[in-house]
Amino acid sequence: MHFRAIVRVSILSLGLAAPAVAATPFQGPSVALAQATTEALLVEPPPQSGQVVITEFMKDPSSVSDARGEWIEVYNALPWRVNLEGWVLSDDSGATHVISTGGAGLRMAPGAYLVLGNNSDPALNGGVQVDYVWSSFSLSNGADQIVLSRADGTLVDRVAYDDGVLWPDLAGRSISLKLVARDVVMNDDPANWCHSSSAISATNADLGTPRRDNDACP
């Protein structure tokens, strides 16, 4: 005889009413996991797809004005070429620039870097080789965001830096990501960023490594 049956007989023998036992449907591990996953999807922000990773940026150059010397370096983390034509560069304030080359494409080889900037003339921008020039966009010297999205709105990568509270914040030095952290989740952490330590060029005392592997962080 099962234990529940024994308890029921004992209660009846005493002349007491047996308590009602609520029936609870069995939920296996797969059902519970599915429910937990569904609940997480309802509260978590859209994931960063991560085809291209933001790895370095110069928000406050010293050798030239901000209007000439701001730039962003991105890295192709995929094993095949990526075309950034039609992708969108933006921030949370509403500044938006659609990457357009008139249909010619802006392609990155696997494992390659590409530099987006506000001026493509090395004689004016501090000696930086810029692959693409943006407009209607800028990098604040205070807190700001760098958001890269595909043409269909898919979020590729987002970096939100502050005004020197947790993030590096010295003028004339780019902010660079550790090589081991070239990932769209790891680059959300300010602890994985540091100031560059190499001169951009022989004629520019500002520090940065556009289109090259970043300096090692201390």
81-104 pLDDT per residue, tens: 999 999 999 999 999 999 999 999
Task: Compute the CA torsion angle 153, 49, 177, 209 (nearest 10 deg).
Answer: -60
- Report whether pLDDT(159) > 60: yes
**Which tokens hold the place of 137?**
């966009």
Where would I find the H helices in 19-159?
Answer: 29-43, 66-69, 122-125
- Report whether pLDDT(156) > 60: yes
pLDDT (0 to 100) of residue 82: 94
pLDDT (0 to 100) of residue 45: 52
Find out whether 133 and 141 touch, Cβ atoms under 8 Å: no
Name the DSSP letter for residue 189. Answer: -
pLDDT (0 to 100) of residue 181: 96
| Domains in the chain: boundaries | 3-43, 52-207
Supply the mean pLDDT for the chain.
85
CATH code for 52-207? 2.60.40.1260
